[in-house]
Amino acid sequence: MAGLILRRLGIGLVLLVAVSVLIFWGIEALPGDFATTYLGQSATPQAIANIRAQLGLDAPASTRYLAWLGGIATGDFGNSWASGMPVGGQIAERLGNSLFLAGAAAVVAVPLAVGLGLVAVMFRDRWQDRTINIVSLAAVSLPEFFVGYLLILVFAVNFGVATFPATVFAGMGFFERLSAIVLPAATLVIVVLAHMMRMTRAAILNVMAAPYVETAELKGLSRFRVILRHAAPNALAPIINVVALNLAYLVVGVVVVEVVFVYPGMGQYMVDAVTVRDLPVVQACGLVFAAFYITINMIADILAIIANPRLRHPR
């Protein structure tokens, strides 16, 4: 197990370095320039050259990448070009808000998805299973921004029972924050719940076709006991993987939801930085998102290996 974990850590580190290269050179390939955007179309060539020299943009791209990577290795993400503030401090505050939103959504979505998946398997081909499948298929078909605006229209505009986090979020207590994120958290739950539930159902049904499950049913065991004690434990590996993918989405894919609800998280921070071409912020946000995605998937791989002994031993 120690060797497997070390290999996963090494692969994760290599992937993170590769992602940093893609992020840096991808942003370098984008058209436009921060100096021109900052100074406006009427800026003189000399003023643009001065800004570029001040920000170090006149240095070769490879030199700037190595300097950026070295700073990240020491915990220094640099300063924002637009505000002059350290990017690391801004990310720490915004990341806490995003993790709070993602955590609240995960606490509701994960057990509910697994529970609904078990119910769908238990009542397979009955009205309960059909209802869950129809509702989940409809939820999967709806994009995040549509679900968000629909919830805003119903609960904030028509009934006035929901509030927005916006600028007052920083001064709220724990329970006030929970009440303020009801709508964005509900949007995330609706988006990820259906996918996790359908994959849980598919994983358990795949195991239900195994001979040992049929033997347990022939022995007279109840369907609930067969599913809970024999099928579900052996379906843990794919369930863990799909849950991990959706947890990664809750952290990485919240950009649209945060923009819709003007939520002060990483997604909103990154979109604001893209608008003004604040490259240090965009690069740092992209790398943090990639680090979370790689870490969550690496943890899922390790948990799947622990849950399935066959993965620990070569055939």
Whether residue 163 has pLDDT greater than 70: no
Q: CB–CB of 71/56 below 8 Å? A: no
Q: 213 and 101, same structural domain?
A: yes
Q: Which two tokens stand for residue 264?
A: 């002060």
Using 50, 70 and 90 to split pLDDT, how confident is the model at 314?
A: low
The dihedrals phi and psi of 236, each to the nearest 5 degrees, come to -65, -40
Q: 149 and 281, same structural domain?
A: yes
Total of domains in the chain: 2
Q: What average pLDDT does the segment 153-177 reach? A: 69
Which amino acid is located at 70 in the chain? Answer: G
Q: 99 and 21, same structural domain?
A: no
Q: 285 and 216, same structural domain?
A: yes
In the block, residue with structure tokens 């690391």 = 88
Q: CB–CB of 111/224 below 8 Å? A: no
| Residue 251 DSSP one-character state | H
Is the pLDDT higher at 315 or at 201? 201
Q: 103 and 55, same structural domain?
A: no
Q: 306 and 203, same structural domain?
A: yes
| Sign, Cα dihedral of 99, 281, 287, 289 | positive
Whether residue 166 has pLDDT greater than 60: no
The set of residues, in sequence order, having a beta carbon less than 8 Å from that of 45 and lying 6+ positions away, is none
**Helices in 42-153 by DSSP H: which ranges?**
45-55, 61-73, 87-122, 127-141, 144-151
Q: 238 and 141, same structural domain?
A: yes
CA 309, CA 313: separation in Å to the nearest integer? 7
Q: 63 and 99, same structural domain?
A: no
Q: Which residues pair with 79 in a beta bridge?
A: 86
Q: 68 and 130, same structural domain?
A: no
Q: What average pLDDT does the segment 190-215 reach? A: 82
Whether residue 257 has pLDDT greater than 80: yes
- DSSP 3-state assignment of 79? strand
Structure confidence at residue 55 (pLDDT): 74
Q: Helix %, strand %, coil % for the chain, to 5?
A: 80, 0, 20
Q: CB–CB of 120/128 below 8 Å? A: yes
Domain contains 274: yes
Is the pLDDT higher at 19 or at 245? 19
In the block, residue with structure tokens 């915004």 = 94
Q: 305 and 206, same structural domain?
A: yes
Count CB-CB contacts under 10 A for residue 263: 25
Q: Which domain holds residue 130?
A: 95-312
Q: 115 and 54, same structural domain?
A: no
Is the pLDDT higher at 295 or at 54? 295
CATH code of the domain covering residue 130: 1.10.3720.10
Q: What average pLDDT does the segment 157-167 reach? A: 64
Structure confidence at residue 33 (pLDDT): 66
With b for 16 or more beta-carbon neighbours within 10 A and e for fewer, the 206-218 pattern comes to: ebbeeeebeebee
Whole-number average pLDDT of the chain: 81
Using 50, 70 and 90 to split pLDDT, how confident is the model at 42?
A: low
Which has the minimum average pLDDT: 18-27, 173-182, 183-192, 279-288? 173-182
**pTM (2 d.p.):** 0.80
Q: What average pLDDT does the segment 119-148 reach? A: 84
Domain contains 81: no
Q: 57 and 19, same structural domain?
A: yes
- DSSP 3-state assignment of 30? coil
The angle subtended at Cα 250 by Cα 207 and Cα 235, nearest 5°, is: 10
Using 50, 70 and 90 to split pLDDT, how confident is the model at 164?
A: low
